Structure 1
Amino acid sequence: MQTVELTVRRTVGRSLVFQTKVLEVDANRDDPTIVVACPEGLDPLEHHFDASIAWTSALGRMEYAVTTRPERRGRGRVWLLTLTGPLTGVQKREYFRADVSIPVVVSWTDGPPAVSASTNGTEPQTHRLAGVVLDLSEGGVLASVSGVPPPVGTQVQSVLRIDDDEIVHAATVVRHVSLAGGTGVALAFADPSLHGDRLRQVAFEAERKRRRGD
């Protein structure tokens, strides 16, 4: 039930990008075939001669060129994807990214560790910046923030607001970016798998809407 990105290139019009799931793999055929659920919004009886399937693994983003054809199985209407080329586009530690607009709060502390008040210790200072995510992947974000961002290398907590949910990650500041009217801060999540499925779904949906002109 691996979640994958399916790109369909039609003769006329824009390419369409959908998120779907692998239902099974027929590896014993002369032409190995991947069985996927028909993406929502497409005709289950369509054939496609120029398509590709991509996913993210521990090695990075991987992609195969495929053709698609419809079939009915026990699960109902499915698409059979036949590989038409070798594995390509492997990029280590790279994730599917998309332009989005999602509220984010970045917080971090500095100063010496907390010490008992009886020793006249100093409490660390907590900082908090609100911003908007501009670029999202399961591995991290680029956000525009108001105020001075934490230095590169700082360990922070990021809280993304998606619908009514708060998606919390421990993260590291990896770079600062100059943006028109503000400052950008790029964060790399400590554990991309923590909310990976959810963020990948959000990125796929944002890219699908962009390509359809929504």
Structure 2
Amino acid sequence: MSEPASRPGVVVLDYGSGNLRSVVRAVERAGASVTLTGDFDTALAADGLVVPGVGAYAACMAGLRGIKGDRIIGRRLAGGRPVLGICVGMQILFAGGVEHGVETDGCDEWPGLVTRLEADVVPHMGWNTVEAPAGTRLFAGVEDERFYFVHSYAARSWDLVTNDRTAAPLVTWAEHGGDRFVAAVENGPLSATQFHPEKSGDAGAALLRNWVSSLA
């Protein structure tokens, strides 16, 4: 019998934000060997990096910068090493976020601001469908499933312009109360979801397996 393939090593980045244990368990179930740490070198060297996040944008960015997490993300992406952002961990990848009239700088991997949803009922909390684009790998097999969202803010436009030499990112959209927002992005080594795959049942588990399998 042949030996089973080794499990890819994933770091869930611990910077003081997110329901970290549930993310760790979900990524382990998806087939990865997971380390929960904020250590710079360990996060840099992992096969994959997951950046979770809950709460206020400014607080998440302060925690991230406190462990040089913005530099970890930037250096990983410069080397083509995969990163997955979840919820506020997706939002901080944009140029900035505006909460209560205060703008906070983000990691600026993508242009645009994260702003409050313009819907009658905020936060957007519960299960929702998404509009995944053709060619998606992240949503392969679960394009028509529902995912679990808990958020009041989102990227409500996609402002990145690419040239003919660069593959355009695949952007997945969702709608709440008539307001469309970015639900996920697949951009080379950088992927992110506004919803919580670790809370999204079988569909979320399948999405995480898709991501982990891409690390091989």
User: TM class by shorter-chain length?
Assistant: under 0.3
TM-score when normalising by structure 2: 0.28
Higher relative contact order (CA 8 A, sep 6+): 2
The answer to which structure has the higher helix fraction is 2
Larger radius of gyration: 1
TM norm structure 1: 0.28
